[in-house]
């Protein structure tokens, strides 16, 4: 069903290596296909194609790029059901989530890029000087498995809008939807060499892409550990590096909230996508006096999670992506038990009736403190840690006491109070009273959650360079 070749210079071509990796359905543990893994020669060919195409594509007018993106959007929407099915198969997202959120995000980022490009002022005057915004050049796009198409399209769409050419290295664990994206771009008549795709591992493809002297920009989404390696690999050639990394987001429930509503919403948001979201609210901060009530509501909410076959519309939570991820989550759950947190529900081992597949019990810990491993490390699974606080100042201090700074959540019956707390959080984003993510707003974080921004107008700016021509306006 899926083309396992690479896409280079507008053609589907074979890998120049014989290495392969199995792509496994995490719900069944069955191998879907053997994925070819590229190496330096494949990277060199893809970068060369992108470099050759850049000179011409960078000269396309704004109107031409808008028309191209509109063709891509039309073709994407035609294939959106195929994309959703691929995501369910490759990383276990329940079919409803795949359709309504995972695959739908691809359309959303195309719409956002089109709007940002239409609103972009390609130059502005400073008396005698004209300031231009131009395409950054050849871009290496390295994407993860947890929101595969979301992360591909929030890079590909603004790169096309800016007039950049690119080489995509999708996750080797979830490559199926990336293959469909390449087919969509081909059908939309993206010029040869503008978009290229090479499958492979971080070591075999990601590292040579990040260090390649003809790559001008690297846009990477993944773990903080891997992002550090990307930045080091890019350092010798002083290229622009945009990183969207991990998170350990705090969900502060102030003492005036509707606890029934806010706790339930916090639990379900944490468990969405099986907890495999970098901006998930994995630390719930609650008033110490309300801990018992919060525990009861949280446990009841967890019991309503429908764990099962991701192909079923009745399922609300599927497996985690891989055996390696499952084992890491089990280790961290055990650390919570060993370090003395109260296990409210879930725990170690597979759920009853789900011995096949990488299923994890929806797990909640309470009476935790911010020094426990489960409060410090990004677990990337359905594990919620509930931490008490004594007053608002302590809640803010606990929220900020983390090496991460991607997102945050604040709930209060007083909107102005919620905003005041949000302004004190050292994070790139804050959701007030359960507000959803805004696809037109900048996405990114402080501290070890990365640098730069994705999505919307700010995401487009990352793919632009700034040129000042002095004496232009005489």
Give the pLDDT mean for 275-297: 98
Give the pLDDT mean for 153-172: 98
Q: Provide the pLDDT for residue 72.
A: 98
Q: Provide the pLDDT for residue 237.
A: 96
Which of 162, 182, 230 has its CA nearest to residue 76?
A: 182
> Which residues are identified as catalytic?
244
pLDDT higher than 90, residue 222: yes
Biggest CA–CA distance in the chain, Å, is 77
Residue-wise burial string across 359-397, b where 16 or more C-beta atoms lie within 10 A, e elsewhere = bbbbbbbbbbebebbbbbbbbbbbbbbbbbbeebeebbe
Write out the DSSP string of 423-456: HTS-SS--EETTPPP-TTS-B--SGGGEES-BSH
Q: Provide the pLDDT for residue 211.
A: 98
Write out the DSSP string of 332-378: HHHHHHHTT-EEEE--SSPPTT--SS-----EEEES--TTSHHHHS-
Could you report the per-residue pLDDT of 297-349, keeping only the tens digit for each?
999 999 999 999 999 999 999 999 999 999 999 999 999 999 999 999 999 99
Residue 22: how many CA atoms within 13 Å on its side-chain side? 9
Residue with tokens 């470099």: 51
pLDDT higher than 90, residue 201: yes
Residue 138: beta bridge partners? 165
CATH topology of domain 250-426: Aldehyde Dehydrogenase; Chain A, domain 2 (3.40.309)
Could you report the per-residue pLDDT of 421-471, keeping only the tens digit for each?
999 999 999 999 999 999 999 999 999 999 999 999 999 999 999 999 999
Q: Provide the pLDDT for residue 400.
A: 98
Which residues make Cβ contacts (< 8 Å) with residue 238, sequence separation at least 6? Answer: none
* Average pLDDT for the chain: 98
What residue ranges do the domains of the chain occupy? 6-246+449-469, 250-426
Confidence of residue 178 (pLDDT cuts 50, 70, 90): very high
Give the pLDDT mean for 32-56: 97
The secondary structure of 187-252, three-state, reads HCCCCCCCEEECCCCHHHHHHHHHHCCCCCEEEEECCHHHHHHHHHHHHCCCCEEEEECCCCCEEE
Could you report the per-residue pLDDT of 52-92, keeping only the tens digit for each?
999 999 999 999 999 999 999 999 999 999 999 999 999 99
Which class is domain 6-246+449-469? alpha beta
pLDDT higher than 90, residue 45: yes
Q: Provide the pLDDT for residue 1.
A: 80
Confidence of residue 408 (pLDDT cuts 50, 70, 90): very high
- Cα separation of 33 and 414, whole Å? 53
Q: Provide the pLDDT for residue 290.
A: 98
With contact defined as beta carbons under 8 Å apart, do 92 and 24 qualify? no
Residue 274 DSSP code: G
Q: Classify 389 as helix, strand or coil.
A: strand
Which residues make Cβ contacts (< 8 Å) with residue 175, sequence separation at least 6? Answer: 23, 35, 90, 199
Global model pTM greater than 0.85: yes
Could you report the per-residue pLDDT of 382-406, keeping only the tens digit for each?
999 999 999 999 999 999 999 999 9
pLDDT higher than 90, residue 474: no
């Amino acid at each position: 069903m899926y083309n396992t070749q690479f896409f280079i210079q507008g053609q589907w071509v074979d890998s120049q290596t014989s290495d392969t990796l199995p792509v496994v359905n995490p719900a069944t543990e069955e191998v879907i296909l053997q994925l070819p893994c590229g190496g330096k020669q494949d990277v060199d060919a893809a970068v060369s194609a992108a470099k050759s195409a850049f000179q011409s594509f960078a000269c396309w007018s704004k109107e031409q790029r808008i028309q191209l993106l509109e063709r891509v959007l039309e073709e994407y929407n035609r294939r959106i059901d195929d994309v959703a099915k691929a995501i369910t198969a490759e990383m276990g997202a329940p079919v409803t989530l795949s359709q309504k959120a995972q695959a739908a995000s691809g359309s959303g980022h195309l719409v956002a890029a089109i709007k940002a490009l239409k609103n972009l002022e390609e130059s502005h005057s400073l008396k005698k000087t004209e300031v231009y915004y131009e395409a950054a050049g050849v871009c290496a796009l390295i994407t993860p498995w947890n929101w595969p198409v979301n992360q591909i399209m929030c890079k590909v769409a603004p790169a096309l809008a800016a007039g950049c050419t690119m080489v995509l290295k999708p996750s080797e664990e979830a490559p199926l939807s990336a293959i469909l994206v390449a087919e969509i771009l081909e059908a939309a008549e993206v010029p040869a060499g503008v978009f290229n795709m090479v499958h492979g591992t971080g070591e075999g493809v990601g590292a040579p892409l990040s260090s390649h002297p003809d790559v001008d920009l690297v846009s990477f989404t993944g773990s903080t550990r891997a992002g550090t390696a990307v930045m080091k690999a890019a350092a010798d050639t002083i290229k622009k590096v945009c990183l969207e990394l991990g998170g350990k987001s705090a969900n502060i429930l102030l003492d005036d909230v509707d606890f029934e509503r806010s706790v339930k919403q916090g639990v379900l948001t944490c468990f969405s996508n099986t907890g495999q979201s970098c901006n998930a609210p994995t630390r719930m901060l609650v008033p110490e006096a309300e801990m018992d009530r919060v525990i009861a509501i949280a446990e009841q909410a967890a019991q309503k999670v429908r764990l099962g076959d991701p192909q079923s519309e009745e399922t609300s939570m599927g497996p985690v992506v891989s055996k390696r991820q499952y084992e890491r989550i089990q280790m961290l759950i055990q650390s919570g038990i060993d370090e003395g947190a109260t296990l409210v529900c879930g725990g170690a081992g597979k759920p009853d009736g789900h011995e096949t597949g990488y299923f994890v019990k929806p797990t909640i810990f309470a009476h935790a403190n911010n020094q426990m491993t489960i409060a410090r490390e990004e677990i990337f699974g359905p594990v919620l840690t509930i931490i008490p606080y004594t007053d608002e100042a302590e809640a803010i201090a606990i929220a900020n006491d983390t090496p991460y700074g991607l997102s945050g959540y604040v709930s209060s019956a007083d909107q102005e109070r919620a905003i005041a707390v949000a302004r004190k959080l050292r994070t790139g984003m804050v959701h007030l009273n359960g507000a959803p993510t805004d696809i037109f707003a900048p996405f990114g974080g402080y501290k070890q959650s990365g640098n730069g921004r994705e999505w919307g107008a700010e995401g487009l700016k990352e793919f632009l360079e700034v040129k000042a021509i002095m004496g232009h306006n005489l």
